[in-house]
Amino acid sequence: MPARDTAVVVGAPGAIAESIAALLAADGHPVASVGFRFAARAGDGRAFDTPRDGEGWRSLIAEIASAQGPPLVLVDVASFPAGYGQPDGAHSYVGEVLARAEASVSAARPLMAQARSGSVVLVGLPMGSEAVVGIPAAGALAGALPGLVRGLAVEMGDDGIRVNLVSPGLIRLARINESQRPGDGFGIVPLRRPGTDERAGSPVDVAAAVAFLASADAGYITGTQLVVDGGLSPCRNSRASAFWEDGATDAFERSAGLAVVATASPQPAPEH
Amino acid sequence: MGLLDGRAALVTGGAKGIGAAVVRRLVSDGAQVAVADVDEDAGGALAAELGSSAMFTHLDVSSAPAWSTALTQVDERFGPISILVNNAGIGAMTYVETFPEADYDRVMATNHLGTLLGMRLGVPYLRRAGRGAIVNVSSLAGLEGDVGMTAYVASKFAIRGLTKVAAMEFGRDGIRVNSIHPGLTRSTGLESVPDDFLGRIPLHRQGRPDRAGRPDDIAGVVSFLVSDRASYITGAEIVIDGGKSVRFPTVVGDYVRANSVLANSVEGIN
């Protein structure tokens, strides 16, 4: 396996941050986790506490660089807002998320600029890219992150540094897993996993998107938002799509009085 | 061992440029790949070079009977495809006020109808393969307008829309459909245009002579999208443009600032 750049993964304890750190380590990146611990099955994994200020970030990045090599991959996984449904919590929550991302990027940027190579990946909340009813702070963050990523991408492009956002859709986390069967609550997601009824994503899906953006295969991608949501956000959630997912398209066409020009039934491929 | 071992693929417009880079990459990832193109010389030579993992099949993507013939040939050789890359595309300078209808129809037949026919006639094979991923090659011109590109922009916006509909319709079969949007890519015919041809590009990578993309940049993204690593990504649009489309569009300031002789005289233009 070719040598990979050292990766710093910043986040709170949780399945998504832990999956990202574990997959990057499995792919051969030396990994430093900040704010959480993860189980590295193999390779070089270390855990650190979250620094309090810019000076703390600079010394942490220097420590990681001397122990594991210059961190040319930086991943910041947004934490959930502490209080749900608080109408006045958005500004402080969004401010905290952006402040941490800016502090870690500022600390890592000089080493990336020196190498003329770097990949910054921000990861939004696993709720889709739409505003979320009852959690205005989450909706505000969903609007803020794409703008921050575009601004940083333009700012740091001359140094060969790429900046992108991963926007997870509905991801099956442990606490949801316990109370729901596959398919429950995720019926509006167009994609069904082959051979199952599962429509939710998994933390590994998010991790794989981050690993891709950190890799040379994404070497010309910057300033973008990679949506990992099984088609949730481009889906219109129309009456037609609901019937389609239930396999009852013919009934929909009849009930809506539509003039159907062709059957919706799939045609088999010719056999040889 | 590769991420795509055991998979069969068809790449339209696979003989040259971005398509050929995609063909090479999918073969190196372990797939068996059909080079589908109207250019028999270039396509045949590429398939011959790649040996038993590749074949050439003649395909005019705007013709449904041609699709049926090509898909049958590929199925007989490699089994049902689980990867379809609708890459074939053409362009023409056509202004809104003066476009010749024949040129408009020609561009739409290849770029728009060709992509639709590929999905319609190819999906039964993906379904039979038990899995599948489709990548439709749109363009920055599927996200932005430009002067003199009436037919091209219309066709590339159409590909983006078709991709969303197909992602919703095929999702219940576990088949994923995504569009990619390359910016300035140094492929056939664009080897020597200036790299601010489509506008200024923020990203400047180490060891690169300029800020343009290369066919390999696109092939790496296709490789990811058709692999199991992207198994929850569908209906998405992946922009591969070095950040060109998010560049703050201070066009006059940018172009003038790029000229050091004039730089001092336009301070404060932002």
User: Do residues A173 and A115 both lie within one domain?
Assistant: yes
- Which A residues, 109 through 128, put their C-beta within 8 Å of a C-beta on chain B? 115-117
Q: Is residue A124 located within the same domain as residue A177?
A: yes
**Residue B78 placed within a domain:** yes
Q: Is residue A1 part of a domain?
A: no
CB B183 within 8 A of CB B243: no
Chain B, residues 190-209, CB within 8 A of chain A, namely 201-206
Indicate whether A229 and A263 sit together in one domain.
no
Using pLDDT thresholds of 50, 70 and 90, give the confidence band for residue A241. confident
User: Which residue out of A5, A156, A210, A220 would a mutagenesis test of the B interface target, given it has the greatest number of B Cβ atoms within 10 Å?
Assistant: A220
- For residues A52 and A72, membership in a common domain is answered with yes
Give start and end residues of each alpha helix (H) in B192-238.
215-226
- Minimal Cβ distance to A219: which of B183, B205, B234: B205
Averaged in consecutive runs of 10 residues, what is the pLDDT profile of chain B (270 residues)? 93 98 98 98 98 98 98 98 97 90 95 98 96 96 92 97 96 96 90 84 93 97 98 97 81 52 42
Q: Is the pLDDT of residue A178 over 50?
A: no
User: Mean pLDDT over residues A38-52, rounded?
Assistant: 86
Are A139 and A225 found together in one domain?
yes
- Is residue B3 domain-resident? no
pLDDT for position A199: 85
CATH of the domain at B234: 3.40.50.720
Same domain? For A88 and A221 the reply is: yes
Contact yes or no for B224 and A195 at CB 8 A: no
pLDDT band at A85 (very low <50, low <70, confident <90, very high): low
- Asked if B120 has any chain A CB less than 8 Å from its own CB, the reply is no
Q: A180 and A143 in one domain?
A: yes
Q: Which two tokens stand for residue B270?
A: 């932002």
Burial of A193 (0-12, 13-18, 19+ CB in 10 A): middle
The verdict on A262 touching B (C-beta cutoff 8 Å) is no
Range(s) of the domain holding residue A259: 236-272
Q: Is residue A194 part of a domain?
A: yes
Mean pLDDT calculated for residue range A47-59: 96
Number of domains in chain A: 2
* Residue A137 domain flag: yes
Structure tokens that stand for B25 in this block: 């990459």
Q: A47 CB near a chain B CB, below 8 Å?
A: no
Which residue range forms the structural domain that includes residue B186?
Answer: 8-266
Residues of B taking part in catalysis: 152
The beta-strand segments (E) located in A146-219 are 161-168
Confidence of residue A234 (pLDDT cuts 50, 70, 90): confident
Chain B, 202-261: which have a CB under 8 Å from a chain A CB?
A: 202-206, 213-214, 217-218, 220-221, 223-224, 229-236, 238-243, 245-248
- In this prediction, residue A134 carries a pLDDT of 62
- Do A116 and A221 reside in the same domain of the chain? yes
This model of the complex carries an ipTM of 0.90
Mean pLDDT, residues A182-193: 69
- Same domain? A266 vs A145: no
Q: Does A231 touch chain B (CB under 8 A)?
A: yes
Q: Is A50 on the interface with B (CB under 8 A)?
A: no
Interface contact B203-A116, CB threshold 8 A? no
pLDDT higher at A23 or A1: A23
Tokens of B146: 């430009």
C-alpha angle A55-A210-A8 in degrees, rounded to nearest 5:
25
